[in-house]
Structure 1
Amino acid sequence: MASAVKDSRSGYGSLLRTPGAWTFLLPGFLARQPFAMLTIGIVLLVQSTTGSYGTAGAVSATTGVSMALFAPQSGRLADRFGQRAVLLPGVLAHAAGVVALITLALAHAPLWALLAVAVPTGASTPQVGPMVRARWAARLGGSPLMPTAAAFESVTDEFTFVVGPVLATALCTGIHPAAGLIAEAALTLAGGLLFAAQKRSQPAVHRAGAGDRPRVSALSVPGVRVLIVAFLGIGAVFGGMQVSLTAFTQHIGQPGINGVLYGIFAGGNMLAGIACGAIAWKVGPRRRLLVAYGLLALATTPLWAVTAVPLLGAVGLVVGLCIAPALITGYTLVETLVPAAARTEAFTWLTGAVALGQAAAATSAGQLADGFGPSSGFLVPLAGTALACTVLLALRAHLLPRGSAAGTDAVTRHVPYRAGAGAEDRERELARA
């Protein structure tokens, strides 16, 4: 593990010099913004037109649930028919859905109409992050630069969470409540079409033949199901922070500072992500995930009790610093838990879990903010991470990939055999991996 990370630490320059890499990296970055901008843009627009954080959270949650449910299907279809075939109709449908949602919100349409449009809007959100990872795999194959690519993509995801929400908040509060969603739709359309146009870097399509083995589902891997619970908790932090910070800054009469506070939180997330890619870890990813998640749950504890803006910014920074290690380590575990044929689907399940957790947290935090005051919404990140941390500790054995030969080899390669070691000693060493 340490050697792999060491290689990635010195290989970013080589990675970015990979022929053809920038042709899909730049449009892919533009097309990733919907995941980071969509929910906060909906919250700000609907709250502005209805005056209710609960209603805004419900619409945002419907979008997130739809995104979470359809993301794995999108990944599966991309594997079967090609990314371009999924992206082209997807980005057009998503842009149309966002336009319809904006129109209905500004027309003060009833809640059922907003919810009805939120479903296709979320379902059509392009899953570009997993598609970029698949293109790296197709481009690099078994190259030593693959760990570097995984670290780079994780940092890119974190940077998206810095740029997207801050941009959406600034546009909604500084120009017009619908400006954030308008920008989101424009970036989706432009970035998605440009990304789909890059045919040369698209992975080959593998359609099942008569004699092929049946396709493996990522959900059949127990460790993936455990990671989905962990990523639901991470989504609870994002959704709870977005709604609660918005409610808090509105309550104190400084709505413009919302973007600053969220930027501090997301900035800590990005900085920790960069650091995770630069550290030569001496402990295995399973233990890192458990420690990182415990720290994340602990960091969210004081959020609900903080009333001073500077202190809230400081606590938000600490929470952000704790998210990236858990998120990146979870994605790293996929490499050893899941067979190669199902990894794109696994990545989309985890991405969908973040969206689902974000949606549920937005709804819960909105209801709490409406009923018990703005600070009560900060209880949602604490509850979400505490529950997920409990599940991780209880089911941590599933994060050791004993069920697949590839996964077992990946673990045991990093646990050297010691002469005279018994089975129990070997098991303890595997557990530390």
Structure 2
Amino acid sequence: MPHAPALVVGSLLGRLPYGMSSLCLVLFIVAQTGSFGAAGVVAAAAALAAALGAPLLGRVIDRRGQTTVLLAAVAVHTAGLITIVAVGRADAPVIVLAVLAAVTGAATPPLSPCLRTLWPVLLGDRGAVRTALALDALVIEAVFIGGPLAVAVIVAIASPSAGLLVAAALALAGTLLFAVQPPSRDWRGSARRGRGPSPLVAAGIRTLLIGAFGLGIVFGTLEVALPAFGAERGQPGIAGVALAAIAAGSAVGGLTYGARTGGTSAGTGTASRGAADVRPLYLALIAALPLAVAPLLLADSVLALLILAPLAGLAIAPLTAAENELAGTVAPPGTVTEAYAWMLTALVGGVGAGNALAGALVEAAGWRTALAVACGCALLGAVVTLARRRTLTPS
């Protein structure tokens, strides 16, 4: 696998802004307007547009390949982040910032689904692919550890706007490194008949979207509620540290998941066996998610928050890895990149909904109310997913 290290490094650098941009946007808009409600609207615009853009980019990639689409997307995305900083510093209206954020979010380079579609090509063996997906979930956790910590440092020594500019530079560098690698340049999706089916025709994909949306609501709420927690105590940078602590807990969960499942399906050879292996674990993890996050409501000090934060993250990486494995199994042939993109769409759409909802609730009732509502949404998503568990079988 001569190109795998460059692909992983490129995807890590290019996805690091995933852990930076939303938090930077919230802190930047609060600094410019003094309103968490306005910050929630702008962050939600970026997230919801990213959610809508991801499956469209995924479908184009399935038809046209990765490199051209990635390069075009990162050009728009980078320019958008820079423009938000310039226009925001000029005291532009919130609606203008929201529109710019939407354009920027819609052009987020879909590095996660692109990398996931390359693993079967690079590795072949199903057990190795499962391990790679677990490791990819850990890469994402590295993003959500390093990203918020980077924001905390940048805000402390410079400003939230500087954080957005750093995110733009990282997105550009990482996407360029990924897109020029031969496996990315050479990859083409499986042929479809005519326009071909959407992965949404698979009931199992629709079930997975419900759980991903609930997880996204939790993420989006934390991105607004934790800065509000810090603002109450005069420590706005603590939000980055707390988000990093949650991601660290998630990384521990991901390592445990990878160690447990890495070799269980090697050589089995069938999609049915793979789906059956991971489905019970996925269902247990999605049920555990709201129970793991809810104790954050008890935090009455920074120390308590930082103690509870890693526990809140334990289920996240293994849940993401199991979800992605199931998505690759239940998606119709020829729709794998688009299926992974829809998973990202549901997650990021939930982030946008959580941003907007939390912004309004923080202004009206405080950060605890916002987080309690998010836990309730995640619980509802888990209940619906469990009720639809029989759909999680190969197409």
TM-score by length of 2: 0.91
In structure 2, what is the equivalent of residue 275 of structure 1? 256
- C-alpha offsets along residues 344-402 of structure 1, whole Å, 9 cap, x if unaligned? 1111111121111111111111111111123322223312211111211221121233x
Name the stretch that deviates more: 71-80 or 29-38: 29-38
Name the stretch that deviates more: 380-389 or 39-48: 380-389
Shift of 1:340: 4.2
Distance 1:324 1:28, change over 3 A: closer
Return the match for 1:364 from 357, 362, 368.
Answer: 357
Please state if 1:255 is matched with 2:213.
Answer: no
In structure 2, what is the equivalent of residue 228 of structure 1? 209
Shift of 1:213: 6.2
Name the stretch that deviates more: 61-70 or 386-395: 386-395
AA matched with 1:102: V
Please state if 1:240 is matched with 2:221.
Answer: yes
- C-alpha offsets along residues 55-108 of structure 1, whole Å, 9 cap, x if unaligned? 001100000000000101111111211111101111111111111111121111
AA matched with 1:26: V
Please state if 1:91 is matched with 2:74.
Answer: yes
Distance in 1, matches of 2:244 and 2:71, equals 32
Asked if the contact 1:233/1:384 (under 8 Å) is kept, the reply is yes
Asked if the contact 2:66/2:184 (under 8 Å) is kept, the reply is no
Return the match for 1:129 from 112, 127, 138.
Answer: 112
Shift of 1:260: 2.1
Distance in 1, matches of 2:98 and 2:327, equals 33
Asked if the contact 1:361/1:380 (under 8 Å) is kept, the reply is no
Name the stretch that deviates more: 224-233 or 247-256: 247-256
Distance in 1, matches of 2:251 and 2:190, equals 38
- C-alpha offsets along residues 197-234 of structure 1, whole Å, 9 cap, x if unaligned? 2235434335858xx46523111111111111101111
In structure 1, what is the equivalent of residue 271 of structure 2? none
Structure 1 gaps of 5+ residues are 1-17, 405-433
Distance in 1, matches of 2:340 and 2:53, equals 13
**Residues 316-395 of structure 1: pairs in structure 2 closer than 5 A:** 316-395=309-388
Aligned-CA RMSD value: 2.0
AA matched with 1:258: A
Please state if 1:400 is matched with 2:383.
Answer: no
In structure 2, what is the equivalent of residue 30 of structure 1? 13
Asked if the contact 2:190/2:334 (under 8 Å) is kept, the reply is no
Distance in 2, matches of 1:72 and 1:318, equals 32
Asked if the contact 1:41/1:169 (under 8 Å) is kept, the reply is no
Shift of 1:167: 1.4
In structure 1, what is the equivalent of residue 269 of structure 2? none
Shift of 1:237: 1.6
Return the match for 1:183 from 160, 166, 188.
Answer: 166
Return the match for 1:80 from 34, 59, 63.
Answer: 63
Match of 1:362, SS state, is helix
Shift of 1:125: 0.5
Name the stretch that deviates more: 268-277 or 320-329: 320-329
Distance 1:207 1:245, change over 3 A: closer
Match of 2:20, SS state, is helix
Distance in 1, matches of 2:211 and 2:247, equals 19
Match of 1:108, SS state, is coil
TM-score by length of 1: 0.83
Distance in 2, matches of 1:58 and 1:374, equals 16
Shift of 1:121: 0.3
Larger Rg: 1
Name the stretch that deviates more: 89-98 or 163-172: 163-172
Distance in 2, matches of 1:143 and 1:373, equals 47
Return the structure number with greater relative CO, CA threshold 8 A, min gap 6: 2
Q: How many residues align?
A: 383
Match of 1:205, SS state, is coil
